[in-house]
């Protein structure tokens, strides 16, 4: 068992951990959540001994091995497979000693330990992990130095998983992964034999892997049973109950105080008044729970264009006269919501660059709507920002025709308060820089959003805000993301980028997940599929499948519920008197957003009714 007992840690005057306690059973998978900056990474470092506490401590069995995600990418001339195997230093030392040991007893001990560590399958195990994280057999034999920093961080993760520590501490393990590797990692961690403590902003990962959620807030740790969604529901109910109790206690205290004020001067009531004073002292007020302000994005509405937005005819494109994608013939319309899927390196970003006008076709032609405006987001754009100026200055340079108030209003759409809008870009967090890029790409009110890994550096609240903003946006969206949860909530079609082709994928996220896991080496699903093929078993045909329509229906229902919740939130925001006192920019933003949400609710309800009718008709045919 992992025990955290009265753990206290300070950074200067700030108390990150204040007598925190938690107990995690051996073999349990636990998600570790809390707002950015509350100290989650600090707790992991305290567990490993990388930091020393100011009070209390962490305890776990002495025999446990502990591993934590590395912040440094491995490098050197060794092949990837050798780099991963070398991560298990005990294994390497045992194998070296086995070659030189002469004492029979020690030789027996060494080989017993090598057997315990399954040393004789080490290379095969390392290869399976590397394959799951996106490295084929050829790549596994290449030198580590041949790969970029992001790919080498995958090698670092592979080494940690290969070590298979008793206590596995993962801090944002999907940061450098693509969708395919993320799905593999989810599946791998679900079968992990040790104890896991997982820090992540990936809601899908936190719903699929952990059995419990450890929450850090106000320096305290609380353990909840179930997935992240279960934790959220449980905590919301707790906060609602606490608020009711707080109001009840507040009213009771007010009644007691009123009695004291009324009768304390009367001799006949003095004894009763004094009794009430003691009662009031014992009845301590309950502090109101304070949440940081929510995050929200608002992509501006473009005017509608006649379809298609793009018509791509027999296009081949690549770099330095080397084709990456061949003979593409595709069409994009105003209401398309498309995710590009496929392993890193297959050409997803290349496809988006074509649409963004950053890459010209080598042959073939692409026709765009005459008035088309494009919003393009990619992580490398952060490097193009001037870190020495503020967001206001950066935006003013790009929109000199706008006055300062217009610039501030636009930044306000992406949650930039006055102080943060006046902070130098170099001092902004990764999430704030990403939000600034969102603000910059939408200055021209684009008709289509091209988003290449937009969730990197975004916390859970910001990811949810991005999902809501995409769903409220009336234009087209093409999205690349390693976050399956974001894809499930925002797109309705997939284009598979593989083998130099871009083709529509006939299935949803769950179908793609099953396809990936069924094709991974050593995966139980793959073995099951192969066994069925060898035995000649086939599923009986039952005519047209209901699943696509059922999936569409579920998405439409979820959209109505989500948009209705957003409508209620905006209506509640409009009841705040402070909104009407100052400048009306925020009021106008809320009213504009509310009008858009009403329109989106109508569209979602129409979709729901249409799909429901189609589903009923198909059921009658069967």
The pLDDT value given to residue 328: 93
Angle, CA of 588, 431 and 490, to the nearest 5°: 70
DSSP bridge partners of 323: 318
Asked if residue 522 has pLDDT above 50, the reply is no
User: Which residues in 222-248 are b (16+ Cβ under 10 Å) and which e?
Assistant: bbbebbbeebbeeeeeeeeeeeeeeee
DSSP state for residue 400 in the 8-state scheme: T
The pLDDT value given to residue 545: 53
What's the rounded Cα separation, in Å, for the pair 523 and 153? 23
Domain 544-622: CATH architecture, name and number where available: Orthogonal Bundle (1.10)
SS3 for 262-314 is HHCCCHHHHHHHHHHHHHHHHCCCCCCCCCCCCCCCCCCCCCCCCCCCEEEEE
pLDDT confidence bin for 583, thresholds 50/70/90: low
Angle, CA of 17, 19 and 24, to the nearest 5°: 90
Average pLDDT over residues 430-445: 88
The pLDDT value given to residue 322: 92
Neighbours of 577 (CB within 10 A): 6
The pLDDT value given to residue 186: 94
Is beta strand 212-217 parallel, antiparallel or unpaired with respect to 220-225? Answer: antiparallel
Helix (H) or strand (E) holding 105, with range, is helix 104-116
Average pLDDT over residues 353-357: 93
Residue with tokens 């390196």: 345
Share the mean pLDDT of the chain. Answer: 85
Is beta strand 310-319 parallel, antiparallel or unpaired with respect to 476-480? Answer: unpaired
The pLDDT value given to residue 600: 79
Q: What is the pLDDT of residues 226-260, one digit of tens each?
A: 999 888 888 888 778 877 887 888 888 888 888 78
SS3 for 506-544 is CCCHHHHHHHHHHHCCCCHHHHHHHHHHHHCCCCCCCCC
DSSP state for residue 180 in the 8-state scheme: H
pLDDT confidence bin for 167, thresholds 50/70/90: very high
φ, ψ at 208 (rounded to 5°): -95, -30
φ, ψ at 297 (rounded to 5°): -115, 155
pLDDT confidence bin for 292, thresholds 50/70/90: low
Cis peptide leading into residue 308 (ω within 30°):
yes
Q: What is the pLDDT of residues 555-578, one digit of tens each?
A: 777 777 777 877 877 777 777 777
CATH of 1-65+165-226, one of 3.40.50.880, 3.40.50.150, 3.20.20.70, 3.40.50.300: 3.40.50.300
């Amino acid at each position: 068992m992992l025990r955290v007992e009265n753990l206290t840690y300070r950074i200067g005057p700030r108390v990150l951990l204040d007598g925190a306690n938690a107990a995690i059973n051996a073999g349990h998978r636990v998600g570790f959540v809390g707002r950015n900056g509350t100290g989650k990474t600090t707790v992991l470092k305290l567990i490993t001994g990388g930091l020393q506490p100011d009070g209390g401590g962490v305890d776990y069995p002495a025999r446990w091995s502990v591993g934590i995600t590395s912040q440094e990418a491995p490098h050197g001339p060794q092949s990837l497979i050798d780099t991963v195997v070398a991560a298990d230093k005990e294994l390497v030392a045992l194998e070296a000693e086995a070659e030189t040991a002469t004492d029979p007893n020690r030789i027996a001990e060494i080989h017993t330990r090598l057997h315990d560590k399954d040393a004789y399958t080490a290379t095969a195990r390392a290869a399976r992990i590397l394959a799951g994280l996106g490295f084929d057999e050829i790549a596994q034999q290449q030198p580590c130095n041949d790969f970029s920093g992001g790919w080498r961080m995958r090698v670092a993760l592979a080494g940690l998983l290969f070590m298979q520590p008793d206590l596995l501490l993962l801090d944002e393990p999907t940061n450098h992964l693509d969708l395919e590797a993320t799905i593999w990692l989810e599946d791998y961690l679900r079968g992990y034999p040790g104890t896991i403590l997982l820090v992540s902003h990936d809601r899908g990962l936190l719903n699929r892997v952990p059995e419990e959620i450890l929450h850090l807030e106000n320096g305290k740790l609380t353990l909840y049973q179930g997935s992240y969604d279960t934790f959220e529901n449980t905590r919301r109910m707790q906060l609602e109950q606490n608020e009711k109790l707080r109001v009840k206690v507040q009213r009771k205290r007010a009644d007691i105080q009123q009695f004291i004020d009324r009768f304390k001067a009367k001799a006949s009531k003095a004894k009763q008044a004094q009794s009430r004073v003691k009662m009031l002292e014992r009845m301590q007020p309950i502090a109101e729970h304070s949440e940081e302000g929510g995050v929200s994005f608002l992509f501006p509405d473009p005017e509608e264009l006649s379809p298609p937005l793009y018509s791509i005819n027999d296009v081949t494109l690549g770099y330095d006269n080397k084709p990456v994608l061949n003979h593409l013939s595709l069409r994009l319309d105003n209401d398309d919501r498309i995710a590009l899927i496929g392993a890193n390196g297959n050409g997803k970003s290349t496809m988006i660059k074509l649409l963004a006008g950053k890459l010209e076709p080598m042959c073939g032609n692409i026709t765009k709507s005459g008035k088309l405006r494009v919003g393009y987001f990619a992580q490398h754009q952060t490097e193009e920002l001037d870190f020495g100026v503020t967001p206001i200055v950066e935006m003013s340079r790009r929109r000199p025709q706008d006055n300062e108030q217009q610039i501030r209003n636009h930044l306000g759409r992406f949650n930039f308060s006055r102080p943060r809008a006046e902070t130098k870009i170099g001092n902004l967090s990764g999430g704030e820089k990403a939000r600034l890029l969102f603000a910059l790409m939408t200055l021209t009110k684009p008709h289509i959003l091209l988003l290449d890994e937009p969730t990197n550096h975004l916390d859970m609240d910001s990811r949810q805000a991005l999902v809501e903003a995409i769903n409220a946006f009336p234009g087209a969206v093409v999205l690349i993301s390693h976050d399956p949860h974001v894809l499930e909530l925002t797109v309705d079609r997939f284009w598979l980028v593989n083998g130099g082709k871009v083709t529509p994928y006939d299935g949803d996220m769950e179908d793609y997940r099953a396809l990936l896991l069924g094709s991974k080496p050593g995966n139980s699903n793959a073995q099951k599929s192969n066994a069925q093929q060898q035995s000649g078993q086939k599923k009986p045909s039952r005519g047209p499948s209901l699943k696509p329509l059922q999936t569409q229906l579920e998405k439409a229902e979820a959209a109505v519920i989500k948009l209705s919740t957003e409508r209620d939130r905006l209506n509640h925001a409009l009841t705040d008197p402070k909104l009407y006192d100052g400048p009306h920019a925020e009021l106008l933003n809320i009213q504009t957003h509310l009008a858009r949400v009403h329109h989106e609710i109508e569209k979602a309800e129409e979709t729901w009714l249409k799909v429901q009718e189609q589903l009923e008709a198909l059921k009658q045919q069967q």
